[in-house]
Structure 1
Amino acid sequence: MDSNGSRCPLERSFMIVQKSRDMPREQQAAKVTSSIMIPCLKISSNSAAVPRPPSPPAASSNLVGENVVLQTRVSVSSASTHGRQSHRDGDENSRYDASDHTDESDGVGDDVGSGNIYCGEGKQKSIDTDTLDPEETKEARRILIVRILFSLLLISSTVGIACAVYFFIEAAEVREFENKYLSDADKLKESIGLALRSTLSSADSWAINYIAVQKAGNTSFPFVALPNFAIQAAKFKMMARAYAIGVSFIVSDAQRRDWERFTAQEGPSFVEEAWKLQSQDDTFQGSLDQYPIIREELFTNFPDLSTVPDGSGPYLVWWQNYPIVYNPISAAYNFHLLSFPTFQKLYNTTLTTKRPVLSGFNLVDPESDIGKVSVAYLENFVAESESASEPVTNLVYPILSQDLLDLSLDEESVDSLDLVGTIAIGMFWRELLRDILPETSEGIQVVTEEICATKEPAIFTYEINGATTTYLGLGDLSDVAYNYLESSFSMVELMEATTLSPGYRYTGIPLMETDCSIRMRIYPSSKTASSSYSSQSVAFTISSVLVFLFAGILFALYDLLVKKRQRKVAYIAARSSAIVADLFPKEVQTRLYEARDGLGKEKGKKHKNITWAASPTPEKGSSSIDSVVSDERNGDLSIADVYPSTTVMYAGIYGFARWSTNRDPKEVFDLLEALFGAFDEIANRQKIYKIENTGDTYVAACGVPRENVNHAVKMARFATDCRDRSVEILHNVNYVSDIRASKLFVRFGLASGPVAGGILRGQRARFQLFGLTTLNAELMERTGELGRIQATETTANLLCDAGKETWVNKRPDAVVGGDDTPLDTFWVQAKSCDSISTLSVETSASKTFSLPVPKERIVIWFSDTLRDILTELQMSRQDSGTERALPIDETMLQLQRQIRSFVEAIGSLYSDLPFHNFENAFHGATTLSKMLGQVTIDIPPVDRFSVMLAAMIREVDHPGIENDHLSKRGDAHPSGKSIIQLRAFELALTILSDEKYDKLRSFLCPTAEDFSYFSQLIQSCVIATDVMNPIVSSARKRRWEQTFACPIQNEDLENPGKAERKKTKVVLEHLMIVAHLSYTMRSWNFYTDWSIRLYQEMVSSFIEGKIPSDPADSWFNREMMLFDNIVLPLLDTLRDAGPCKAIGAELMTRAMDNRDQWKTKGKGMVINMRFEFTGEKRVHFA
């Protein structure tokens, strides 16, 4: 009660509800679960401002926090909001309760939730899990920064450590390479020095042999011949790495004649000995076919073989030598060496200094006369793989007349002794470098340079690879990248180093340093480096990178799993929030969260239009809801609001319970989703808050949860739009599914006034409205008329106050309320808020045929389906690169317009018959479209276009009677068979041949052969629908057996393309028949509906005298024959073989079920059909 002791309107409304519980069941307006009293609020006359008592601190609500927000264990009761009984369908007791799908908020205006809603054709909006509050956004940004920093640290660590590992190992390999090279260089220098010292020592020993022979024979020089010279010289040559060795003596003019006689006596014998030995010497590459020339007198071979004149001595005469070479311009011995310019300087140096001399390099021009002589001579000592023009050097060692008493000679002793002759040793420079280094040493480059003051330096380069030496050519050809590792020395320095080294004592005459010095420089090369470097640096670097990469992958995987878990948690939280937002207004959501987090008590927050229905210290014995809830919820505050100015709408489907009883649940839910989904869309647009939909009832309110001064006007418009939309849906839903809902209507009720809204906590809690206003709205709906909106007097007054008097019309008869009080009610017809119908369809600007709405929708479906097939055809041609492909631009748009025009033309030619109409073609085509997606062979787009076209035209201009009746009437086709089908085909082909469809024809059939196949396929598919023609049926069965039951024919193997087309044609013919008879393979209701239509059509033909007998007489047997002789055998054929097994199996079940039901109910249905169309007595059947 208020301060004056009177009850407020809201309190009185709940008292009325309590009184209604004692009334008979038939008179109850609603059933309330318990007596409810709430604190009375003094409402001002204008209902604009409501004084609020101080808001007590809010208690945390564990129930709501756990069940609604965290665990999302929220469900919707299938009972009515107030537990009301439905009396809409008389004494019916059963109904289907649809799932509760509430609205979503668009973020503007009233709270319409943020959960899932059904939009349009049952599609659902997704839950947004990406919306974060500012604090969560900051946290997400910090996590992202940490992730980026960690990734950068991981990458930098990987790069740094990989670089460190690489450079450390590479530096170690560089040091190893340099050390190995320096070791090889030292070994090379030592080996060259030892080889040169060994050659000098051998020459010294050879000189001692001659002196010993001279002393042993008691002869004088130059008359000395070494016995067994050839064999000793051959072994000496190998030891000294020389290609030739020769001895020369100084002969005076006085000794010349004696010398010539001496050589004539001793010379031929050693020549013969050497010539025989050379045949066993593998190092000699010269010819043995011609014996060497022998001259007894002294001669010179430059420029010719002339005798040296007398009186020109002393002479340095070439004596014993090995090997001996045949030379047409020289002889085996007695050659005066000083007469040859090349040797003059070398021998004169030795004759003057009495010391060994190493000549310069024989780098003569091969094209000069001397060069030719030199190269021709050296070719006798080189293999085919070697070059005679490679650098050659000569060592000339003096033969001194001595007593053979000293092991070594000092400088004074050498100068005091007489020079009697020389020993000449010829060497290829490469022999000093060969067989020194191991096989692992590669690419060592040796640059040799002869530096003379009087001529240009002579430089050449060799490369040493293990034991092999390769001549690179003249000049410094070393790898400049490794010049910093140069190791150089002169030959004299080398000799001094090896002579003085321990264990290598040289006792011969020291090597003479001339004005031309020889220096050698040793370098490594890239080949040396590559042989020294290993892949360890790369391997260890890759290994370290892989380790870090593996760690990075683990981190990324861990991060991915964490983010996936976070997304899952966020999705669950968002879904929970969506459910809460769906069930509760925004203000209630906020308070739910505050109650969960314990913020309600701390803040003591006041909400607009909110009354806390609990006291922190309820008084004992209080009958108010606050004390009850406080006791039951351990002191938690319940959440309840008072909304003083609202308008509530109830919308219920009349006839729904009876209709849904014999329906498939899927059909029931499809209808509810289509209808209530459309209401949801309108509510979202007009900012109307949806309360719930329970079963076949839809409840919405305006002024909840936010005040709206125009709540009555908005709800009147909303109800009007919902009514108009429901009429369209219930009228046209037959054309998109098997649902037959043409006898269903929606009634609407409006009531205005205060309501209480809140959460009745517990299991399946949700936001609910209570009060007389809701009961009155339900009463308005329940007592209303089909397709009309009934409103209370309060609502009507509010509409009149808003200047909408033209919207209301008083109902002539009164409505009795729940307390037997007559109520004045009004019919409401508001102006629609939607300026454009949601079913409006875009039509062509050049539309020629005016079609009703259902036909228009069928035209759109056919146009879209054929357009999609054309687009697929275009893409396939582009992929195959054929020249037929056209760009998808203006040409495709023209094709779409021509398709639309053609479909409209075909639709306009269909007769307005109950069965053979455009709608029947549409249903068959939808079945065919589905089957084309299930068949297991690849059907080309052109063939699919052809069969869909055939499905569209198969019953054009149908006369309403069958082919046999037409033929009996004399209305035959020239072919004598399938009259209706051929007429439909020819009529459609005539339209397609019109000039206005030229682009469509040329695109489908670029050639005459293509058009012939295209038209033949359409004709075959259309004729196949003549299922009552035994000739057509037997031919079709025979083609199926030949294609799928018989072995493959040779002609099919020879022409696989033709065989594939044949198979496709047979399959499409059978699919066409299934589409033609598809009404027998759908639901029972669908089948009976279309069977009745066919019966109606044939009865009309009978009445008009087109057919001789009443179809009712044979209708039952006709349908049984259709199932047993045509439908079931056809499906059995498809199911047992071929690419349509899945299709046959699926449709067989439905067809068998329809056949069994027809067998049971068919006779009774025929009697009823006869009564409906001819007036005979109706009977009831099971």
Structure 2
Amino acid sequence: MLYPILDTASNGGITINEPNSNVVGIVAASYFWRTFLENILPFGERGVVVVFNNTCNQTFTYEINGEKAKFLGSGDLHDIHFGYLNQTLTFEEIGLFSSLVGNYGGLPVDHEHCAYTVSCYPSQTMKDKHYTNNPTIFTIIACCIFIFTALVFMGYDKLVTMRQQKVMKAAIQSTAIVSSLFPAAIVDRMLAVPDDKKGGGGASMFQPTKTRLRTFLNDGEPSESSKPIADLFTDTTVLFADIAGFTAWSSVREPSQVFTLLETIYSAFDTIAARRGVFKVETIGDSYVAVTGLPDPRKDHAVCMVKFARDCRTQFNVLCSILESSLGPETGDLLLRIGIHSGPVTAGVLRGQKSRFQLFGDTVNTAARMESTGVVNKIQCSQATADLLTTFKKPHWLTPRDEMVEAKGKGMMSTFWVEPKSVAHSVTAGSTATRSNSIASGADAMDTTRISSQTERLLNWNIDVLERLLKKIVARRSAIGKEKNDRSTSIINWNRAHDKMVLNEVKEVIKLPEYNSKYNDIQNDDPDSIILDNKIRIQLREYVTAIAATYSDANPFHNFPHASHVAMSVAKLLSRIVGPDQDFESQQHLHDHTYGITSDPLTQFACVFSALIHDVDHSGVPNSQLVKEDTEVSRVYKGRSVAEQNSINISWNILIEPKYADLRKAICDSRQAEVRFRQLVVNAVCATDIMDKDLKTARNERWEKAFSTIKPAQPIPSNASRKSFGSSSPLQDRINRKATIVIEHIIQASDVSHTMQHWHIYIKWNERLFAEMYKAFIEGRAEKDPTDSWYKGEIGFFDFYIIPLATKLNECGVFGVSSDEYLNYAMMNRNEWEKKGEDVVESYVKKYKQIEHVVTPVVE
């Protein structure tokens, strides 16, 4: 840098253009631009590029890194990518800026010759130093916090809503349950807050509905703050409805079937009650109690109740007929007995354990007497109810009962039969009424339409049971494929010749399939999930219908209803095997415990099939009579198990007809399965011949081998130890032996199951057997009048056959509570027969000796 020295400098400051001054000297100074750039940036800052440029075409580039500067070279060397960020100033502008801020800006510089400009640029180094993702990160964090906060509030709102919905649902359920148990007015009073707690000091007014209700109902002791809820209703009509024959019917059913019936019936009654404005009070077993006239009084309470009773009776008959196909024979024979009485009642909530709305008073007792003294399928009402019906111009509904009724605690009472005439009878109602009138009158002859209807219901039930078992067979087959060791690939020869002497085919041990874990996953599935081909279902129906046609309706006992009754008992015992009371660690243990019966639906099908055909073409007389008469069939079978062998051959010949090809294929898909199926049927049906001494001796010997009480059978080994045994090992032989014995005893017990069921069931079938034997006697096909030995014969039958047989069922250990049930009923029936048997026989004699030809007794 060159700077002039003027002669006038001693006079003070000078200007650049001073005409009177002369240059007397020049100051020359040299310095580096680097020095000018040092100590500008703080320590740690890097990458500022400075370009010095003058009008003399000189350009120098420096990079400032912290307190030091570095010469990069001549020329403009800044990164062109950052050119748009440059800042450029001249030296004059720099000096001017310094003077403006009060700083010394240095010596003035000539801007006319080689004027300098300074340009600053960022560099990649500076960018790397200062570029950061923090803003993005902070933005994301802020958004996440916002979203999280929003979700928290939304979740909290959802939880609050769910809690409110849960509380509301619980309140609705509680209210619905309470409303179903108590009238609306009673519910309001139970949930009402006492006056002394409505103020700010009481907390109960803020309690939930359930808490207030629970507090009221569970308050077993009288409380001054909570008075009992009870009222007197002067104008009411009470109804009692009872299912006649329910106790006997339920004794031969599974608990699930009993509850299916009750739930279906009571649900229908509840629907009718809601439509008619009738209040359901309670159900006690098979009794249904309802009332009209409370809590909302109504003048026509008697008329309303009679209509309700009529609708319930009609619906009951319809439902029972429908349910017979799923719940078994004689469900359609159940009938309703209804009693009605009108008068005042005291009604209220009796608090304490299991509180409920109850009725008290003489009206309730009288209504119960109307029911108990009534007749099945009829509506009996008292004089009080009859007077109310007359008042409402319904005297044509009433028919005075011929005899007066003696009611317990009431003496002799005049009652009426009520039959509303304002409803048009449907076909179903009409047929039901015809059926009930025949039963109520005690006529021996049965209506032809009823027989057809009953047979159709029995057919439907048998078909349903067999169809469900067929579905299990198909399911097992699809799960495990062809049976192990079954190398037969040819079509099964169902028509191959069999020895007419079926007894020759009886096996001491029938080989059942071993456990297969592949069946474990599907054996508990609903059989309805399997869809059978429609041809199979049609052929099954045709076959069962053909079997039913082989039974003679002239036989009071050995007929299709009896075969169905036996099949029902077999199905019940099988269900107890498949669904035992005891829990098992695995399906393998269950398989072993039940000797493989649970794992083979073909065995179960064969048992029910055998029950269905076991008395096919029965002549109504025992084998001994057929032998004595030297009938053709007795000669064919050489006088041994004549009826049983004949039933097997007839049923088998029907089954192998060409039109049942699809049905046969569904039952057995291999030669091995067909052989096992026939062996099971032969053994089971022949087991029903309890008079053949050789068969009886053989069965007893097999029982001793399998279930010896002297030398108990060894327990079945665990899975690990049994692997060493083959399929023909003594272990497997022992399992199959027990299975064979159990199957035979299932069919034996079921054939006489009526003796091990409710007393009414026993008497009904006992009467039918008596009728059949007496019929044979008067027709000259029996030497002795059964009347002479019937009483003592039954006692001996119980002592020497029924009770020992029931005991063996218990000893088998596979039937659960059913074995105890059968044994208990056998003991009770034996004791009851010992007390009442002589009177029962006398009633048989009076009934059947007055008629020339015996017909099938009517079920009462």
1:798-831 Cα distance to aligned partner (Å, 9 max, x none): 755xxx8975679999999x999x9998944145
Aligned to 1:1091: 766
Paired-residue identity, %: 31
Q: Which residue of 2 aligns with 1:924?
A: 566
AA at the equivalent of 2:186: V
Q: Distance in 2 between matches of 1:679 and 1:827?
A: 19
Q: Name structure 2 gaps, 5 residues minimum.
A: 1-161, 201-221, 433-448, 484-488, 490-518, 520-526, 578-592, 715-724, 852-860
Q: Counterpart of 1:896?
A: 537
> In the alignment, is the contact (CA less than 8 A) between 1:1123 and 1:1155 conserved in 2?
yes
Could you tell me how far apart the structure 2 residues matched to 1:600 and 1:834 are? Answer: 56
Name the residue aligned to 1:988. Answer: 651
User: Would you say the 8 A contact 1:721–1:833 is kept in 2?
Assistant: no
The structure 1 residue matched to 2:474, chosen from 874, 881, 904, is 874
C-alpha distance in 2 between matches for 1:1078 and 1:636: 56
- Three-state SS of the structure 1 residue aligned to 2:465 is helix
Structure 1 pair 788/1000, CA: closer, same or farther in 2 (3 Å)? same
Larger RCO: 1 or 2 (CA < 8 Å, sep 6+): 1
Contact persistence 1:963–1:980 (CA under 8 A): yes
Task: Write the mapping of 1:364-763 to structure 2, written as runs, cut at 5 A.
Answer: 580-595=178-193, 634=224, 648-651=237-240, 679-684=269-274, 686-692=276-282, 699-702=289-292, 704-706=294-296, 714-724=304-314, 746-749=337-340, 751=342
- Taking a change above 3 Å as real, the CA distance of residues 777 and 1083 of structure 1, as seen in their structure-2 partners, is closer
1:865 Cα offset (Å): 1.9
Q: For residue 624 of structure 2, what is the amino acid of its counterpart? A: D
C-alpha displacement of 1:1004: 1.2
- Cα 1:597–1:998 change in 2 (3 A) is farther
- RMSD value, Cα: 6.0
Residue pair 1:863, 1:900 contacting (<8 A) in 2 also: yes
Equivalent residue number for residue 379 of structure 2:
788
Q: Give the SS at the match of 1:651.
A: strand
Task: Measure, in 2, the Cα distance between the counterparts of 1:741 and 1:902.
Answer: 23
Q: Supply the distance in 2 between the matched residues of 1:638 and 1:1018 (Cα, whole angstroms).
A: 66
Q: In 2 relative to 1, CA 904–597 (structure 1 residues): closer, same or farther, beyond 3 Å?
A: farther
Q: CA deviation at 1:1102?
A: 0.3
For the residue of structure 1 that corresponds to 2:237, the secondary structure is strand
CA–CA separation in structure 2 for the residues paired with 1:1173 and 1:738? 26
Distance 2:172 2:793 in 1: 59
Distance 1:838 1:811 in 2: 22
In structure 2, distance between residues paired with 1:707 and 1:1038: 74
Paired position in structure 1 for 2:740 = 1065
Q: Retained in 2: the 8 A contact 1:953–1:984?
A: yes
Query: 1:959 is matched with which residue: 608, 619, 622?
Result: 619
Offset at 1:581? 2.9
Answer with 776-785 or 920-929: which moved more: 776-785
Q: 1:910 aligns with which of 526, 551, 571?
A: 551
Give distance in 2, aligned partners of 1:839 and 1:1068.
44
- Aligned equivalent of 1:130: none
**CA pair 960-706 structure 1, distance change in 2 beyond 3 A:** same
Q: Is the 8 A contact 1:651 1:748 kept in 2?
A: yes
Question: For the Cα contact (< 8 Å) 1:814–1:824, is it kept in 2?
Answer: yes
The answer to whether the 8 A contact 1:738-1:1086 is kept is no
Alignment-mate amino acid for residue 669 of structure 2: P
- Secondary structure at the aligned position of 2:556 is classed as coil
Deviation at 1:585, TM superposition (A): 1.4
Could you tell me whether the CA contact under 8 Å between 1:720 and 1:830 is conserved in 2?
A: no
Quick check: 1:751–1:794 contact (8 Å CA) kept in 2? Answer: no
Secondary structure class of the residue paired with 2:471: helix
Distance 1:815 1:1138 in 2: 50
User: Is the contact between residue 556 and residue 772 of structure 2 (CA under 8 Å) also seen in structure 1?
Assistant: yes
Of residues 582, 586, 595 in structure 2, which corresponds to 1:937? Answer: 595
Q: Which amino acid aligns with 1:1107?
A: A
Q: Does 1:1119 align with 2:794?
A: yes
The TM-score with structure 2 as length reference comes to 0.52
Q: Following the alignment from structure 1 to structure 2, what is the Cα–Cα distance between the partners of residues 689 and 704? A: 7
2:686 to 986, 1001, 1023: 1023
TM-aligned CA distance change 1:833 to 1:765, over 3 Å: farther
How far does residue 952 in structure 1 lie from its aligned partner after superposition? Answer: 1.1
Quickly say closer, same or farther: Cα 1:724–1:1069, change in 2 above 3 A.
Answer: same
Structure 1 residue 719 displacement after superposition: 1.7
Tell me, in whole angstroms, the C-alpha distance in 2 between the residues paired with 1:658 and 1:1082. Answer: 10
Change (3 A) 1:831 1:868: farther
Greater Rg by CA:
1
1:60-459 correspondence to structure 2 within 5 Å:
none
Amino acid at match of 1:868: R
Q: Which of 1090, 1102, 1110 in structure 1 is aligned with 2:777?
A: 1102
Higher mean displacement: 678-687 or 689-698: 689-698
Residue 775 of structure 2 aligns to which amino acid in structure 1?
Answer: S
AA of the residue aligned to 1:650: L
Q: Using a 3 Å threshold, how does the CA distance of structure 1 residues 1149 and 719 change in structure 2: closer, same or farther?
A: closer
Structure 1 residues 167-216: Cα deviation after superposition (integer angstroms, max 9, x where no partner): xxxxxxxxxxxxxxxxxxxxxxxxxxxxxxxxxxxxxxxxxxxxxxxxxx
Q: Deviations over 1:1021-1070 (max 9, x none)?
A: 1111011111222233344455566999x997469878865654343223
- Listed one character per residue, the Cα deviations across residues 938-960 of structure 1 (whole Å, up to 9, x for unaligned) are 12111211111001111123211
- Please give the alpha-carbon distance, in whole angstroms, between the structure 2 residues aligned to 1:1010 and 1:923: 27
Give the Å deviation of 1:889.
6.5
Going from structure 1 to structure 2, the CA distance change for 1:682 and 1:1134 (only over 3 Å counts) comes to same
Q: Determine if contact 1:1098/1:1111 at 8 Å carries over to the other structure.
A: yes
| Closer/same/farther in 2, CA of residues 920 and 572 from structure 1, 3 Å limit | farther
Which residue type is aligned with residue 959 of structure 1?
A: S
Q: CA deviation at 1:1126?
A: 3.4
TM-score by length of 1: 0.40
* Alignment check: 8 A CA contact 2:552 2:559 kept: yes
Contact 1:780-1:792 within 8 A present in 2 as well? no
- Conserved? CA contact 2:237–2:385, under 8 Å: no
* 1:938 partner amino acid: G
1:1010 Cα deviation from its structure 2 partner: 3.4
Q: What letter is aligned with 2:786?
A: P
1:794-805 equivalences under 5 Å are 795-796=388-389, 800=393
The CA deviation at 1:718 is 0.9
For residues 372 and 704 of structure 2, the distance between their equivalents in structure 1, rounded to whole angstroms, comes to 62
Compared CA separation, residues 1012 and 583, structure 1 to 2 (3 A): closer
Question: 1:1156, CA displacement in angstroms?
Answer: 5.0
Alignment correspondent of 1:1151 = 826
In structure 2, distance between residues paired with 1:1145 and 1:855: 32
Residue 58 of structure 1 corresponds to which residue in structure 2? none
Q: Judging changes above 3 Å, is the alpha-carbon distance between structure 1 residues 785 and 969 closer, same or farther for their aligned structure 2 residues?
A: closer
Match of 1:1010 in 2: 673
Q: Decide which of 465, 474, 493 is 1:865's aligned counterpart.
A: 465
2: CA distance between counterparts of 1:889 and 1:903? 21
Secondary structure at 1:595 match in 2: coil
- Shift, 1:653, TM fit: 5.7
2:503 maps to which residue?
none
